[in-house]
Amino acid sequence: MKQKIKNEAEHEEHKTSDSFIFTILSHGNKGIIYARDGARGTPRVAATANQPEIPEKPPTGCLDIEKDILQQFDGAKSPNLFTKPKIFFIQACQGRKYNLYL
């Protein structure tokens, strides 16, 4: 899946598009998305008073939302989308708590 995201970010046809929308629906955990059946990930290391949150390397079969998705569409890695609006819809649970609000 990482390669498919990278290929999409570098796609030549984005030169003529006005904007970009990315959608993914999956299961996940804090900061990661399970990218294949059976994947289970460790959440990010929680922040402490002396140290900010540190992302752990996602296990095999998982995507880090920031590194593996969002950063692939920045100006350096996706020059054909530079200056164009980008919208990301990511539907994935981020832990074991139930949603209390709609």
Q: Which of 11, 14, 62, 93 is catalytic?
A: 93
The answer to whether residue 93 is catalytic is: yes
Contact between 41 and 59 under an 8 Å Cβ cutoff? The reply is yes
The answer to whether residue 62 is catalytic is: no
Contact between 20 and 9 under an 8 Å Cβ cutoff? The reply is no
Active centre residues (catalytic): 27, 93
